[in-house]
Structure formats: structure tokens, C-alpha cells
Amino acid sequence: MPYLTIKELPADERPRERMQLRGPQSLSNADLLAILLSTGLKGEPVTAMAERLLVTFGGLGGMLRADLEEIAAERGMGPAKATTIKAALELANRLSALRSEDKPQIASPDDVVDLLGLEMAALEQEQLRVVLLDTKNRVVATRTVYQGSANQAMVRAAEVFRDAVRRNAIAIIVVHNHPSGDPTPSSADVALTAELVRAGQLLDIEVIDHLIIGQGRHVSLRRLGLGFSSNHEGR
């Protein structure tokens, strides 16, 4: 059966070339997985195959938890490709499990701004990211949850807390940028904050803060008392 390699894809669909031009951060999970797979199937480019695998296993976390044999049994896989994928996922898993003292500790909103502010201020589109924290307020991971718009009507609490639940995070900090450069919170930002705080209380995951990043400025909704009830103070 003939295979479609990455080189046979149109230039603007080749993950390797896009990584070289724009960096690994510009690639989706499916793109990164496609690079590892290298070849697809007849009628199914390698990028489509990668997307199928992510859907089948419920994302990278599901692939990490799956047995090698389960992945190898998927159409177009086999032991060699499955081993490559499992090895890459295990490396990522070990990296995330580095000693807690090697991870940044968040003591104030300024620490989060130091971590993400410069990058997010330069974004042309609005993004909403979630910083996952452990019991000592050390960063477990940072996830981009939404891009394009992060208003209350579009954001689902389940998506915001999904990785926090999976990674057993104790608390989260929500961060989004205003591409206009003005970090003044809107009424929708305040409503979203209140909704996430309530959801966090149900899940026993504290929303420590919601930060808005602008050009050279940032706003902490907790410091302003917006969206956080008086009986839900920070730890």
C-alpha cells in the first residue's frame, strides 16, 4: 500500500517546514504528532492520520495512558510507529515530572506576568491560558485553552478546568490578553471570572486570579475585587 510522506504534502501543509519557519510553538498537537509518524496512508495524509489518532485516544493524555499494543493496532500504525510515539510521550511525561524545586513558584500576579506577559502582549489575537499550580503554588503546566475570543459566551468551564483535573492541580490562574493593548476588564471578563470561581469551588480547584495582559500593563481582577466573592480569598 503506497504511503503519503510529509514531503508529498503541499508545502504549506508540511509541519516540518512550518516548524523551521515559525518555531515548534506554532504547531498543533496533530502537527507535532505527524512529524513523529512521518508517513500516512493512501487517501489519508499523515496530518489527517495524526488528527484521527488524537480523536481516537482523547488527546495526548489518552495516548500516554494507552498501551503500546493499543496504539500499534490502529490503522496505519504498527509496532515501530507506536514505539516512537510512546517514547516521545514518555519523554514529555518525565519532563513534566521534574523536581518541584525546578518549577517556577507563583507568589504574586507579577510572577505570572514575568512568565507569560511579554509573549501574550505581542499576540495579535486574544488568547486565554490557564496556569496550573501545585500545593506550593509551583507551576505544573501552562495550557492555551481558547484563541480568537475569550468572552463568557464562548468559554466553557469544563475546558478551562480539564487539564487541571487531569494533572491534579490544586489551583489555577487564568490569563488572557487584550490585543488592543488596554487591559481594562470588560463586564464579560468579570462575569467569566465569577463563573470560573464558582466552577472551581465545585471542583475544589481554586481560581487564584484572572489576569488581563495589555501593552506594558496588566490587571489582576482579584486585586480589583472583580468576580471574586469576599469569602473566597487567595491562599
Set out the domains of the chain in order of their start, with CATH numbers: 6-96 (1.10.150.20), 101-224 (3.40.140.10)
Q: Give the chain's length.
A: 235
What is the greatest pairwise CA distance in the chain? 65
3-state helix, strand, coil in the chain (%, to 5): 50, 20, 35
* pLDDT, tens only, 12-36: 557 777 777 777 777 888 889 999 9
* pLDDT, tens only, 100-130: 456 788 999 889 998 899 888 888 889 999 9
Regions in the chain scoring below 50 on pLDDT:
1, 100, 151-152, 231-235
Give the H/E segment covering residue 205.
none
The β-bridge relationship of strands 171-177 and 218-220 is unpaired
Q: What is the CA radius of gyration of the chain?
A: 20
Give the C-alpha separation, 81 to 77, whole Å.
6
Q: Return the pLDDT at 103.
A: 73
Neighbours of 61 (CB within 10 A): 15
Give the C-alpha separation, 130 to 144, whole Å.
6
Q: Return the pLDDT at 235.
A: 46
pTM of the model: 0.56
Q: Return the pLDDT at 73.
A: 95
Q: Return the pLDDT at 85.
A: 94
Closest of 187, 186, 173, 180 to residue 216, by C-alpha: 180
Contact 218, 176 (CB under 8 A): no
Give the C-alpha separation, 19 to 32, whole Å.
9
Q: Give 103: exposed, middle or buried? Use CB within 10 Å, 0-12, 13-18, 19+.
A: middle
Give the C-alpha separation, 2 to 168, whole Å.
43
